[in-house]
Structure 1
Amino acid sequence: MSTVEATYPRVAQPQRMTLRLIGSAFVAFGVFLSGFVIDEPAPYELWMAGLIGLWFILGLKISRGVAPLLALLLTFNIGGMLSLTQMKDLATAPMYIAVSTFLALTAVFYAAIIEDSHKRLPLIFNAWIFAAVATSALGILGYFHAFPGAQIFTLYDRAKGAFQDPNVFGPFLVPPSLYLVHGILVGDLKKSPLKAAALLVLALGIFLSFSRAAWGLFALGVGLLIFIMLLKERSGAFRLRVLVLSLAAIIMLIASLLVALQVPKVAELFSARAQLVQQYDGEHLGRFERHRIGFTMMMERPLGIGPLVFGTMFPEDEHNIWLKSLTSYGWLGFVSYVGMLIWTLALGFRYLLLDRPWQPFLMVAWISVLGHAAIGNVIDIDHWRHVYLLLGTVWGCAALEARHRRSRRPREAAQPISSHPPSDRQ
């Protein structure tokens, strides 16, 4: 048993262990359901609501390490509740804030169960891979009209899988893709073909989503992942393996892309979507002008204007998480959201290169949070279920590290101090 494993003793109670195993399986199923969000509230919300309540009834605790995440996310949603007071017609706005609050609680829940046992991390990420492969396959089959009615999994000739929007579908596939890339680079080569096949399905789904945000997130994520792995591992043989396998994966992905581009429909849409600035970005009242007008308007509206109101005033919604925080959650929500994001990135960065059982999951989640913060400049991510899973993963891993360090102090203090000077030998 490793030193880290030894710091987490478990009470040998068959009933308790059985409940924990069942509870972990239910968590994995909840993660799987996050890949199927066609409407709100989705089955994911219904399942997770019951699951969160059950876990806390059975004694799940929120530690000091996770409490700041709870406080910041609740403050964010209190800002949203205050913004409701600025609306004349509430319509569906209360439901919007209710979903936001619930999703915030899922982040805290994930952090708490990960801190309770780091062994849940592989279960969570493997469930995410299964969900991603399933919804990506639906998007691919829908794009090519593989069966009658398959177009339900597309929108505007773009794959969307079992999501409402291709711009959510694509980014959802990126974190499990990074986890697969990591597994290929460090895992058993005998299992690499299966992981490579799953990665190809996800990469094709990301490509056919024709989401520039997803494309950028995938490229940034893979680049950062390889860089951090090379930074962490000092072995020349390991670095050579990472470089060779990375090069092989890049060649494979480029070859797959070239094959896909042989389809005229794919090539035409790719040519249009590959432009950095689309017509709807730079035109009158386009995305960038709406951002400018919106930020100026919010300087005079400290409580915001209410959820979903911006889209009734302009041709489209905010498509910017910072502006969305101001309009739908007010200044209070904006400050708490920015503070939460900075704290999350700083916390993850602090422990990013430590040799721990949970380090691969922290690395994938931290890179993904950073990437989602970047694409938040052009898209709203406050209702993306997987973003809250990523936040919970980073905070859960940080809480694991804090717990591990606390457990080491008594042992280190109990060790006798040698009266002899330390040797120069290593």
Structure 2
Amino acid sequence: MSDAALPYTAPFRPQLAALGIIGSMLVAVGVFLSGFVISEPAPYELFMAGLIGLWAIVGLRISRGVAPLLVLLVLFNVGGMLSLTVMKELAGGPMYVAVSLFLALSAVFFAAIVEARAARLELIFKAWVASALITSLLGILGYFHAFPGAEAFTLYDRAKGAFQDPNVFGPFLIAPSLYLMHGLLSGRILAAPLKVIGVLILALGVFLSFSRAAWGLYLFCVVALVFIMLLKERTGTFRLKILILSLSAAGLMILALIVALQFDKVADLFSSRTQLVQEYDSGHLGRFDRHRIGFLMAMERPLGIGPMVFSTMFPEDEHNIYLKSLTTYGWLGFACYIVLIGWTLSAAFKALLRDRPWQPFLMISFITLLGHSVIGIVIDTDHWRHFYLLLGVLWGCLALERRHNRKIAADARAP
């Protein structure tokens, strides 16, 4: 809710400011709720559906900078709707597509409100950190059975926090971890102890999820963050600070890992999960065999096969977002997904090192989304709420960059 988006005149500016503050706080509540998805529909869906609807009535502005995101996501979901036409029994197909469409609109919503007011980025990430810390603590306490009923926050002896699946729980913690690390590396030393504690809590949550995808994502994103910050900061003193703090953080994490591995339960599961290829990956109709057969089958099905049909034909779901795009959203959905990810990452990469107020948020979101696009080879991400939040934040930052460049060009032309 920005002043530019609402048709009020100057006498009502105090009311507009108050409305904007209330709107921003509601957004923070919505982001916070994204960390608690034990059942569906989750509180996040119900709250965000109401918030998006209310904002649309009051004045949600979709600019030219955000419009391509809307078009690509709508076409992606049109592909999902078309796939329903080839299903023999619809079952839960329509609901699946409805959730996909809602999540797509949530990405557009986040992009629009970030463009309207860049200060919301800080609020979004702080709410994300708060949510991640709580759900991570729930997963950790649940793993060690710290209180009666704590097993509700685990699955197959793996921490899942307030999520349904450890494989979603782990990746959810990555962007908040990067936000805390960025603050640790670039902020004041006095605030470092609290950030270190936060980083360790989230790192332990990722570790106890025993998700190989989350482990790989965490390692990639942390290394990428440090590398990009070293590229961006030109002073030797600052680079030395980053190097020292990074090595110290790595040392603390290794120490924490050593302590965790002293528990037999942790050590046994860690030994099992660190095998690069599991039996269910390489066996007959295992993950990789299903990928091969699925891609061959998708080449003959332009409209796809419909939501959740793949798991009725094979032992499990696709576990590959690119194959999922083909089977559930058809050729149209697959093409839109590839264009969306390619466009988002390439545009964000070009703006990655520019000195802007929103640069840290763009950098963190870019790194995390890039990592998600890689782990998408072995996991489905099309219904991950935080994935669409990342998309929205990135497109909001790109829209801010576009507006900033237009202003510079206009100033240059002015006499």
Normalising by structure 1, what TM-score? 0.94
Letter in 1 for 2:60: L
1:356 aligned residue: 356
Letter in 2 for 1:25: M
Deviation sequence 1:380-403 (CA, Å, 0-9, x none): 000000000000111100100111
1:403 aligned residue: 403
**How big is the shift at 1:82?**
0.3
Deviation sequence 1:326-360 (CA, Å, 0-9, x none): 00000000000010000000110010000000000
1:280 aligned residue: 280
2:108 aligned residue: 108
1:270 aligned residue: 270
2:284 and 2:39 map into 1 onto residues whose CA distance is 31
1:414 and 1:334 map into 2 onto residues whose CA distance is 45
2:391 aligned residue: 391
Letter in 2 for 1:208: L
1:17 and 1:410 map into 2 onto residues whose CA distance is 27
**How big is the shift at 1:414?**
2.3
1:341 aligned residue: 341
Deviation sequence 1:23-59 (CA, Å, 0-9, x none): 0000000000000011222110110011111112111
2:328 and 2:42 map into 1 onto residues whose CA distance is 21
2:36 and 2:91 map into 1 onto residues whose CA distance is 25
Q: Judge which range, 164-173 or 57-66, deviates more.
A: 57-66
Residue 160 in structure 1 maps to residue 163 in structure 2 = no
2:239 aligned residue: 239
2:254 and 2:367 map into 1 onto residues whose CA distance is 23
Letter in 1 for 2:45: E
Residue 24 in structure 1 maps to residue 14 in structure 2 = no
Once the two structures are superposed, the pairs formed by residues 404-423 of structure 1 within 5 Å of their partners are: 404-415=404-415
2:410 and 2:167 map into 1 onto residues whose CA distance is 49
RMSD in angstroms over aligned alpha carbons?
A: 1.3
Give the match's secondary structure for 1:312.
Answer: helix
Normalising by structure 2, what TM-score? 0.97
Give the match's secondary structure for 2:64.
Answer: coil
- Does the 8 A contact of 1:170 with 1:205 survive in 2? yes
Give the match's secondary structure for 1:13.
Answer: helix
Give the match's secondary structure for 2:88.
Answer: coil
1:6 aligned residue: none
Residue 222 in structure 1 maps to residue 222 in structure 2 = yes
1:265 and 1:372 map into 2 onto residues whose CA distance is 29
Give the match's secondary structure for 1:86.
Answer: coil
2:305 aligned residue: 305
1:99 aligned residue: 99
**Runs of 5+ unmatched residues, structure 1:** 1-9, 416-426
1:39 and 1:371 map into 2 onto residues whose CA distance is 26
- Does the 8 A contact of 1:167 with 1:209 survive in 2? yes
1:45 and 1:198 map into 2 onto residues whose CA distance is 27
- Does the 8 A contact of 1:304 with 1:327 survive in 2? yes
- Does the 8 A contact of 1:41 with 1:99 survive in 2? no
Letter in 2 for 1:201: I
Once the two structures are superposed, the pairs formed by residues 187-226 of structure 1 within 5 Å of their partners are: 187-226=187-226
1:254 aligned residue: 254
1:57 and 1:403 map into 2 onto residues whose CA distance is 24
1:37 and 1:390 map into 2 onto residues whose CA distance is 17
Residue 289 in structure 1 maps to residue 289 in structure 2 = yes
Give the match's secondary structure for 1:105.
Answer: helix
Give the match's secondary structure for 2:59.
Answer: coil
1:62 aligned residue: 62
Residue 178 in structure 1 maps to residue 178 in structure 2 = yes
Deviation sequence 1:34-87 (CA, Å, 0-9, x none): 000112221101100111111121112000000000000000000000000111
2:118 aligned residue: 118
**How big is the shift at 1:411?**
2.1
2:274 and 2:154 map into 1 onto residues whose CA distance is 19
1:126 and 1:304 map into 2 onto residues whose CA distance is 39
1:34 and 1:347 map into 2 onto residues whose CA distance is 26
**How big is the shift at 1:408?**
2.2
- Does the 8 A contact of 1:347 with 1:395 survive in 2? no
2:237 and 2:102 map into 1 onto residues whose CA distance is 46
Deviation sequence 1:215-252 (CA, Å, 0-9, x none): 00000000000111111111111100000000000000
Letter in 1 for 2:216: G
Letter in 1 for 2:351: Y
Bigger Rg, structure 1 or 2:
1
**How big is the shift at 1:188?**
1.0
1:81 and 1:113 map into 2 onto residues whose CA distance is 28
1:149 and 1:285 map into 2 onto residues whose CA distance is 36
1:131 aligned residue: 131
Letter in 1 for 2:405: R
Give the match's secondary structure for 1:354.
Answer: coil
Letter in 1 for 2:65: G
Deviation sequence 1:78-121 (CA, Å, 0-9, x none): 00000001111111110000000000000000000000011000
Deviation sequence 1:171-214 (CA, Å, 0-9, x none): 00001001111000001110110011011110000000000000
2:85 aligned residue: 85
- Does the 8 A contact of 1:83 with 1:304 survive in 2? yes
**How big is the shift at 1:409?**
2.5
1:324 aligned residue: 324
2:174 and 2:283 map into 1 onto residues whose CA distance is 30
Deviation sequence 1:130-179 (CA, Å, 0-9, x none): 00000000000100001111001000000000001000000000010011
1:314 aligned residue: 314
Give the match's secondary structure for 2:85.
Answer: helix
- % same residue: 68
1:283 and 1:31 map into 2 onto residues whose CA distance is 39
1:326 and 1:136 map into 2 onto residues whose CA distance is 33
Give the match's secondary structure for 2:173.
Answer: helix
